[in-house]
Copies of this chain bind each other. A is one copy, B any other.
Amino acid sequence: MKGKKGSLVIKISIPSEKSPKQESGGDDSSPAARKWAREVWEFGKEDTNRVIFAVKVGLAVLLVSLLILIRSPYDVFGASIIWAILTVAIMFEYTVGATFNRGFNRALGSLLAGIFAVAVMQVAMACGHVAEPYIIGLSIFVIGAVTSFMKLYPSLVPYEYGFRVILFTYCLIIVSGYRMGTPIRTAMERIYSIGIGGITTLLVNAVIFPIWAGEQLHRELVGSFNAVADSLEECVRKYLADDGSGGQPDFSKNVMDDFADEPSFRKCRATLNSSTKLDTLASSAKWEPPHGRFRQLFYPWAEYVKVGAVLRHCAYEVMALHGCLHSEIQAPYNLRCAFGPEILDVADQAAELLRSLGKDISNMKQSLHTSLLNRVHLSADRLQASIDMHSYLLTSGHDFPAHPLPPGQPSDDKTASGNCNAQPADSYHEAMRKQQRRLFSWPSREVDDYEDGGVHDSEAIQRMRTLESTAALSLATFTSLLIEFVVRLDHLVDAAELLAKMAKFKEEAGKS
């Protein structure tokens, strides 16, 4: 009985153990499924164009299928109409321009393949029945090898798909022509069929809620401007706020997990990697007719790529600034705070200019950025002047980190670490100037020490001092990179203004 009871207990306990598992399993899978569904929903909501695109593809395939599902067109076109479906499935691209481009590739490829096939077929038939299969086989080999070689050629890479089309269309026409003996009819039927598929694709893609590559390119470029501006601000703010207490996470770990705590940086790096995307969109946009906001014939899409290239060269400086931020040798927090207001001013002005450029492109307005550019230059000059005036802090201030901070600079107040920029600049500069005089009258004892002997004894001290000095110089690096960024903004403004001029953006007299 006891054993039975025991087994009973066990029996009871097993299901009771299982049931929560099953429940939790059920809970796990149900939220997982729900989470997945929500993710898909969010993905669609994020950009409704994705849903539109999907519905359009469904519609285009359905339309072409109707030609077969309904009796009368099937009787007219026959079985070769299935090629129309293949054409839709292969040709339908996300943007109108890409679809046009692919359609052009397919049309030209099919046409060339048809011409080759008919020509070779005539030659083969003229050579008699024995030679015919050899000639056809040789021609297939040659076409296969030549198209494959040509599509690797750098300038022909964009037409890769066209070469594929030539290859398989040629093979299909010539082989079925050989077996059925009517190459021209086979070619013609296939071309009709492909034409129907192609036209359906183009119409559905370009007429029903068209997704223009030009519009995408436009938005992508504007987004890049904002990404670089955000990233610059984020980087500078983090540089000034970081008092070294938190400790930087390991660099190599960061490289792997994409600096998870810096969303703008990731966007900026995405901008750096977006050159291919811009190129693709621009080459697709060239195929699009004037549309929407871009009513000009021969709209200068290539200029977008150029502006993107100059912007990327600005973004390289942001990457270098970011490198300074994550560098292992860091300028002391006090020193960073000392130049905080000026650095922040330059970054804010530069970011404002970037956003203004982006906004003008976004609104297709043409306005002069001279006043903004002047302000950026002024603040950069101020930063330079400030660095110049207090340059002793950067290099000869060997004992700077040990110095007590001037009154009014809350160094040990950690809650104020983010607010060091609120410090009025003038009073602090006043205090620094006094320090400067003291330093200039300082005897260069330590250097003499090193020179006259005791090198072995003071090597460790020397090493320490070098590190400290380099730490201070890292601030000079940060500011130099920032100033170099500002210098590159000139080129960016030039490129953006050239784009505005060539694309004939609306001129705005009020803004200067």
Contact A451 B480 (CB under 8 A): no
Q: How far is the CB of A113 from chain B (nearest CB, A)?
A: 11
Complex alpha-carbon distance, A324 and B316, angstroms = 12
Complex alpha-carbon distance, A172 and B197, angstroms = 13
Contact B309 A256 (CB under 8 A): yes
Q: Closest residue to A53 on the B side, CB-wise?
A: B148
Interface-side segment among A21-29, A368-376, A391-399, A412-420: A391-399
A433 within 8 A of B: yes
A320 within 8 A of B: yes
A117 within 8 A of B: no
Per-position binary interface string of chain A over residues 153-196, scored 1 when its CB falls under 8 Å from any chain B CB and 0 otherwise: 10000000000100110011001101100000000000000000
Contact A85 B396 (CB under 8 A): no
Contact B179 A61 (CB under 8 A): no
Interface-side segment among A236-244, A379-387, A499-507: A379-387
A111 within 8 A of B: no
Cβ–Cβ < 8 Å partners of A309 in chain B: 255-256
Cβ–Cβ < 8 Å partners of A451 in chain B: 433
Contact B385 A65 (CB under 8 A): no
Contact B179 A68 (CB under 8 A): yes
Interface-side segment among A12-20, A214-222, A270-278: A270-278
Contact A178 B145 (CB under 8 A): no
Q: Closest residue to A465 on the B side, CB-wise?
A: B388
Q: How far is the CB of A454 from chain B (nearest CB, A)?
A: 16
Q: Closest residue to A312 on the B side, CB-wise?
A: B255
Per-position binary interface string of chain A over residues 333-349, scored 1 when its CB falls under 8 Å from any chain B CB and 0 otherwise: 00000000000000000
How many A residues have CB within 8 A of the partner chain?
Answer: 115
A329 within 8 A of B: yes
Assess A90 versus B149: contact at CB under 8 Å? Given A61-B140, A136-B69, A470-B480: no
Contact A133 B69 (CB under 8 A): yes
Cβ–Cβ < 8 Å partners of A511 in chain B: none
A266 within 8 A of B: no
Interface-side segment among A286-294, A352-360, A400-408, A481-489: A481-489
Q: How far is the CB of A82 from chain B (nearest CB, A)?
A: 6
Cβ–Cβ < 8 Å partners of A223 in chain B: none
A491 within 8 A of B: yes
Assess A476 versus B487: contact at CB under 8 Å? Given A61-B144, A146-B54, A316-B323: no
Contact A89 B171 (CB under 8 A): yes
Interface-side segment among A1-9, A43-51, A95-103, A224-232: A43-51
Contact A316 B313 (CB under 8 A): no
Contact B317 A316 (CB under 8 A): no
Q: Closest residue to A169 on the B side, CB-wise?
A: B89
Contact B85 A175 (CB under 8 A): yes
A444 within 8 A of B: yes
A33 within 8 A of B: no
Contact B144 A60 (CB under 8 A): yes
User: Can you list 7 A-B pairs, Cβ within 8 angstroms, ordered by A?
Assistant: A44-B149, A51-B149, A58-B143, A58-B144, A473-B476, A476-B476, A476-B477
Q: A58-B145, A68-B178, A79-B179 are in contact. List 8 more A-B contacts (CB 8 A).
A: A58-B142, A60-B144, A61-B141, A255-B309, A319-B319, A329-B483, A388-B465, A388-B470
Binding site for B on A (CB under 8 A): 40, 43-44, 50-51, 53-55, 57-62, 65-66, 68-70, 74, 79, 82, 85-86, 89-90, 92, 94, 133, 136-137, 140-149, 152-153, 164, 167-168, 171-172, 175-176, 178-179, 251-252, 255-256, 272-273, 275-276, 306, 309-310, 313, 316-317, 319-320, 323-324, 327-329, 381, 384-385, 387-389, 391-392, 394-396, 433, 436-437, 440, 442-444, 447, 450-451, 462-463, 465-467, 469-470, 473-474, 476-477, 479-481, 483-484, 487-488, 491, 494-495
6 closest pairs, A vs B, by CB?
A391-B395, A58-B145, A320-B320, A58-B144, A89-B168, A54-B149
